[in-house]
Amino acid sequence: QVQLVEFGGDVVQTGASLRLSCEVSGRIDGSYIISWFREAPGKPRLFVAGISWSGHNVDYMDSVKGRSRIYRDSAKNQVHLQMNSLKPEDTAVYYCAVETGVLRYISRLAVEYHFWGQGTQVTVSS
C-alpha cells in the first residue's frame, strides 16, 4: 500500500509561483511512477507532470512545459511540482498519484494509476 498526502495549494495572482508537494509513504519501488494530475470544475482529470521514483525520467504536459519542474526529495520521500508564471487556466485541484511500475513508462492516463492523494486546491486570480 502507498499513502499520498498533497500540500502547498493556495490562492495566488497571475504570474506568481507555487510549489506543490506530495509526501509518499508505504512500500515504494524504484520502478514506481509519481505523477501530478489536475481537475478543474466540469473538466476531466488531466496529467500535468510525472517522474520515475528513480528520478531518471520526467514528462510534462505541453501547457506547463518550460515553466514547471517536477523533482524528488529522496531524503523526505516527497515529490514536488514547482510551477511558475501561473495563469488563471491553471486553477484546479491538483492530485498526486502512483503507478506501481507495471507499465515501465510515465503514463498520462489517470486510469492507469493505482494510488491517489486527496488533492490540494490551486486558484490563480486574474
Condensed to tens digits (0 to 9), the pLDDT of residues 5-48 reads 999 999 999 999 999 999 999 988 888 999 999 999 999 999 99
pLDDT interval class at 101 (50, 70, 90)? confident
The angle subtended at Cα 51 by Cα 48 and Cα 56, nearest 5°, is 145
Q: Which of 119, 87, 120, 94 is nearest to 12 (CA)?
A: 87
pLDDT digits (tens, 9 = 90+) for 45-88: 999 999 999 888 999 999 999 999 999 998 899 999 999 999 99
Burial class (CB within 10 angstroms; exposed 0-12, middle 13-18, buried 19+) of 77:
middle
3-state SS, residue 90: helix
CA atoms within 13 A on the CB side of 77: 14
What are the strands of the beta sheet with 18-26, ordered from one edge?
Answer: 2-7, 18-26, 78-83, 68-73
